[in-house]
């Protein structure tokens, strides 16, 4: 039996409707209109990666060592009470328990550390990571400039990275013009990078948050 073009199209439509899982179909990306609260939340979220100099990575390509480095540095900056000073002759006079960095990695990446091991700048021994103390440096932080809803709780973000001089204490959520007006001689943060990131909203209620899925240099 011959089937005309319209008949073929109708059959294909029925088969597609019958076999497709609606959860697998993503609508065209739509821009999210961010209010101040959401923008501020995402600025802070992305700053957690820029302040510890997370390297770009494609989806599923984050190495175990990169996750360890993030966990240590994140806690060093944001949870300094977890870092212990070791008194002795060794130059490696700072340490943190390995188990304390695991929740940070899972919260921000949705992944687990597969094994604890030494990474550049941090030596692993008997359940602790050790490193030499260092002088402070100027803040590095991020600001989101655009957010696209990709569907299925996935979002694509355009992010600017800024670096400021040591001692700068301005508003990391401010604008360049605001920084210039408030400059006390410590200078104005410089735009040092642009990233395109994919993030995913996970959890529910008070546990709902974003994880970083992909982090690429913007083209």
Alpha carbon 156 to its chain centroid, in Å, reads 12
Cβ atoms 94, 133 nearer than 8 A: yes
Whether the CA torsion 78, 81, 85, 86 is positive or negative: it is: negative
pLDDT in tens, 89-106: 667 789 999 999 999 999
Alpha-carbon distance of 76 to 34, in angstroms, equals 30
Alpha-carbon distance of 142 to 76, in angstroms, equals 18
Residues of the chain with pLDDT under 50: 1-25
Angle at 60 between CA 57 and CA 65, to 5 degrees: 65
User: Where does the chain show beta strands of DSSP type E?
Assistant: 30-31, 84-85, 94-97, 123-125, 128-131, 140-151, 154-163, 190-202, 209-217
Provide the pLDDT for residue 185.
Answer: 84
């Amino acid at each position: 039996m011959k089937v005309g073009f319209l008949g073929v199209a109708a059959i294909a439509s029925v088969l597609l409707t019958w076999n497709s899982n609606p959860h697998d179909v993503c609508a065209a990306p739509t821009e999210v209109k961010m209010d101040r609260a959401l923008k501020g939340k995402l600025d802070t979220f992305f700053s957690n990666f820029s302040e510890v100099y997370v390297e770009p990575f494609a989806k599923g390509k984050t190495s175990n060592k990169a996750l360890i480095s993030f966990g240590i540095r994140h806690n060093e900056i944001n949870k300094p009470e977890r870092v212990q000073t070791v008194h002795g002759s060794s130059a490696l006079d700072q340490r943190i328990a390995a188990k304390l960095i695991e929740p940070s990695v899972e919260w921000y990446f949705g992944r687990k550390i597969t094994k604890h091991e030494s990474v550049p700048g941090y030596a692993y021994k008997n359940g602790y990571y050790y490193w030499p103390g260092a002088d402070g440096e100027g803040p590095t932080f991020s600001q989101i400039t655009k957010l696209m809803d990709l569907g299925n709780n996935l979002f694509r973000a355009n992010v600017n990275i800024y670096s400021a001089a040591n001692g700068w204490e301005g508003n990391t959520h401010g604008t360049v013009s605001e920084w210039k007006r408030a400059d006390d001689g410590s200078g104005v943060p410089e735009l040092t990078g642009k990233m395109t990131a994919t993030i995913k909203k996970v959890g529910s209620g008070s546990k709902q948050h974003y994880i970083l899925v992909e982090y690429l240099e913007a083209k």
